[in-house]
Every structure is written in structure tokens, then in C-alpha cells.
Structure 1
Amino acid sequence: MNGYYVTIETCVTYTTFVEADNKDEAYEIAKDRFVAGEIEPDNPNPIDIDSVTVKDAEE
């Protein structure tokens, strides 16, 4: 079994180590852990803003 570091980028970056047979399996394992909230963000208080969208509130 091989090991892979999987990085998931949202507004915050998450990186986790996964033991898997291939990259596709590593991705699926990491995705499941991310959805379950099992991966801590690399930097929980990001200071860089990539993009922001502001919309009018609908009444």
C-alpha cells in the first residue's frame, strides 16, 4: 500500500496523509474524511482573500 498527501482547497487549505493503493482511492478516502469533518484546516484563520462576491439581498 502506498501513501499520498491529499490537499483539498476551499477558502481554506486542508492537507491529509492517506494510505491507499492508488491516487483515485486516496482522493476518495480524503474526500470522505473532509465531508465527515475529520480533516483540520492547515490554517484555520486565513488572511488572504482570493475572491469575494457580494449580492443584494432579496426581499
Structure 2
Amino acid sequence: MNATRTGLLTGLVLGLALAFGGFGAFLAVLVLGAIGFLIGRHLDGKIDLGQLFGRDRG
């Protein structure tokens, strides 16, 4: 899946959360999506979460 499709899907999900769940649901989906994105990038080996949070052991 390319970046355009991922962005479109993310926008649709956030729009639906805002339309049907209100602003609180929108923020919850946004935060959980960002956490899922970071975990996915970490599992793919494209981001080092230790460096991101200042726990560099090297």
C-alpha cells in the first residue's frame, strides 16, 4: 500500500470517527493510530524507539 492510499484511508477513518463519535472519538483514533504507526515502523526495523525516547544504550 502506497502513501497516498494510506493517507486516504487514515483520513476516512478519522472523518468517520469525528462524524459519528464526536471530537473525543476523533482524538482517541488519532492517538491510537499514531501509536500503532510507531509500533509498526519499529517492527519493520525502520525506526528505533529507544532513540526516540532517549534510551540509547550504544
Q: TM-score, normalised by structure 2?
A: 0.34
Give the structure-1-normalised TM-score: 0.33
Greater per-residue strand proportion: 1
Larger radius of gyration: 1
Which fold has the larger relative contact order, with Cα–Cα distance below 8 Å and residues 6 or more apart in sequence? 1
